[in-house]
Chain A
Amino acid sequence: MQRRTFAGLLAVASLMLQSCATLGEGGASRLGLIQQRQTLRCGISGKIPGFSFLNADGSYSGLDVDLCKAFAAALIGDAQAIEYRPLTAPERFTALRTGEIDLLSRNTTFNLSRDAAGGNGVSFAPVMFHDGQGLMVKASSGIQTLEDLRGQSICVGSGTTTEQNLNDAFESRGIAYQPIKYQDLNQVLAGYLQGRCAAMTSDRSQLAAARSGFADAKQHKILDAVLSKEPLAPLSVGGDQRLADAMRWVVYALITAEELGITQANVRDKLAEAKAQPQLTHLRRLLGVAGRPGEKLGLPNDFVVHTIEATGHYGEIYDRHLGPTSAVPIPRGMNQLYRDGGAMTAPPFQ
């Protein structure tokens, strides 16, 4: 039996076995369970360099992984208290719904049908990475536009919005194509590299990450056409407001810290500064010296201090994994702070 059939069966079985009492307590948040357990079960992909990837020593690293650490630091006070669960695209929502994981930090596109109660019914935290879907072709193929792909086969991962976007883009232009669907990105890559398809499609960040691993990276070209907006955001199960709020403000804390120049290295100094100088109101609220932000969220008041100590601010996380000197350089573009011309901004910690 396959792993995913098994996951599905497990979902049915666990829903069957869950006694009515456990769900019936009304409003019991998973946040309490995580704090009681003192471990965060974080769902990740585990296969995308720069976002979540297995290192040689068996640990995971990447932007999505750092976000797990930020959550663990804020919720539990220990950035290492994480059980990572690598999940394929179709597995992820089932794992979340059945409670196998607490939250998902796995390049998941924020859209209506996933957010709505009538769809997947999950709660999205703010966008951590603005991405867009693209196409990669062999430079020697001479393919420039979508029209050049008429009648060709395109390798795509199944069970993702990628597949739908591809279809929307080609259908709306009346271009016929043949989708070759694989289960995960590595197979899509293998199919493309072996020449089964003229092009492969995925989020542009993933294409860039994949290309960075090719021996002949220069022989492959990412087309200019962008097929979709792909705002990638972490998420938790729907209907759990306390956990969703906590996650939302951890992400906002990472962004606000960058705005205020609070880094992993200087956060303790900044804390001392905030304590000494009552006029630094923004800083005092963010670091929990004033306004008791944590208490309202069910977190320690200094959760932002723990978070920044663990991972640094958003810009630091980005540079560590996707910056110009990293293994997977992706220009920051839309992911810059709003004041620098990007889309990243956060509401006030008031």
Chain B
Amino acid sequence: MKRSTKRVALQAAVVLLLLTLLGVLVNNLAVNLIRTGLGLSFQWLSRPAGFALAEASLPYKPSDPYAWALLVGWLNSLKVIGAGLVTATLLGVLAGAARRSINPLLRGLAALYVGLVRQIPLLLQLLFWYFVALLGLPQQNPSPFGSLLSFTNQSIAVLGVHLSVEFTAVLLGLSVFTGASIAEVVRGGLDAVPRGQWEAFRSLGLNEGMGLRRVVLPQALPAILPGLSSQYLNLAKNSTLAIAVGYADLYAVSDTTITQTGRAIEGFLLLLGSFLLLNLLINGGMQLLNKAIIQRGQRS
């Protein structure tokens, strides 16, 4: 009893200390901002932005306010992150499963992919995809499939959907890079499933794909999910590298905003807030998924 009171008191003291420290920091920030003549202000958000954006999911023109420009940038970020999560997962699961395939060629290819991609910094990969691979395409490239499938260094068309080369470069870069890490997470998850399970489905006469989907993967999922969510969060954060290849994501828009308004602190606070929100959403989604899968596991 006494020991538990002591423990509670100790924890309360630590919390109090942390809160005081945070309070002092925030207070100092506010005081110093005022001293340097820079009191926090967000009024500039309603002023016209005055810059154009190369792509926008919502109607946007330069006379729209900064807040709208930032929202458009945020949606551009969401677009590439959302698409990146899907393609990176597909790529990662395929490559991860391939590393445990009975086909030596598949195994080798997957190992090569993971080995190569994980050793090279993401920024370099992005620059490679953009400046070498995509901008290296011809300016005009008559395609036999028309707008169903065409590649030029101005835009990529797939099934009639036109993607800018900037978007494509970020998507490729993020998917390929994160895919390699996800492959390792998936491989780790598969290895956590007892060897006997593989032998069991093989002896039942199930083929590799079927056995993987029906027997091994469901058991591997609880081990895969925590690693997977941290890869998802990484992908979202890494998307800020988009500015290096000219994609108008939230970071790029904030960048211009900060220079034009001189409101660096507010700009960065908004940026931090937006990414925190986004990552909390991703994290929340993954936790729900995790819970659902563990419950399903307990039921069966």
Contacts and interface: CB of A to CB of B under 8 A. Distances in A.
Contacts of B101: none
Contact of B62 (A113, A167, A187): A167
Given A11-B268, A181-B252, A191-B135, A164 B32 contact: no
Contacts of B153: 194-196
Interface string A178-213: 111111000100110011100000000000000000
Interface in B85-99: none
Interface in B205-254: 237, 240-241, 243-246, 248, 251-252
Given A15-B32, A93-B264, A196-B154, A159 B259 contact: yes
B37 A239 contact: yes
A119 interface: yes
A94 interface: yes
A19 B54 contact: no
Contacts, number: 137
A108 B36 CA distance: 21
A261 interface: no
Contact of A16 (B29, B38, B54, B264): B29
Contact of A158 (B26, B154, B237, B255): B255
B240 A2 contact: yes
Given A89-B259, A94-B264, A181 B31 contact: no
B246 A191 contact: yes
A113 B262 contact: yes
Contacts of B37: 117, 121, 238-239
A231 interface: no
A160 B255 CA distance: 9
A24 B166 CA distance: 48
B246 A187 contact: yes
Contacts of B262: 93, 113-114, 119-121
A17 B240 contact: no
Interface in B234-293: 237, 240-241, 243-246, 248, 251-252, 255-256, 258-262, 264-265, 267-269, 271
B255 A159 contact: yes
A171 interface: yes
B25 A158 contact: no
B131 interface: yes
Given A9-B268, A121-B38, A158-B256, A182 B244 contact: yes
Interface string A322-343: 0000000000000000000000
Contact of B258 (A16, A90, A163, A179): A90
A287 to B, nearest CB: 37
Contacts of B245: 182, 187
A168 B240 contact: no
Given A16-B26, A18-B28, A90 B50 contact: no
Interface residues of A, number: 52
Given A5-B240, A182-B244, A18 B259 contact: no
A231 B120 CA distance: 42
B35 interface: yes
Contacts of A241: none
Nearest to A23: B35
Given A194-B135, A195-B139, A15 B28 contact: yes
Contacts of B265: 8, 11-12, 15
A181 B241 contact: no
A4 B254 CA distance: 11
A194 B264 contact: no
Nearest to A92: B259
Interface of A: 1-2, 4-5, 8-9, 11-12, 15-20, 23-24, 89-90, 93-94, 97, 113-114, 117, 119-121, 153, 155, 158-160, 163-164, 167-168, 171, 177-183, 187, 190-191, 194-196, 238-239
Interface of B: 25-26, 28-29, 31-33, 35-38, 50-54, 62, 131, 135-136, 139, 153-154, 165-166, 237, 240-241, 243-246, 248, 251-252, 255-256, 258-262, 264-265, 267-269, 271
By Cβ-Cβ distance, the 4 closest A-B pairs, closest first, are A194-B135, A8-B268, A120-B262, A159-B259
25 contacts: A5-B240, A5-B268, A5-B271, A8-B267, A8-B268, A15-B28, A15-B33, A15-B265, A16-B29, A18-B28, A23-B36, A97-B36, A117-B37, A121-B38, A155-B246, A159-B258, A179-B54, A180-B246, A181-B243, A181-B248, A183-B243, A183-B244, A194-B136, A194-B153, A196-B153
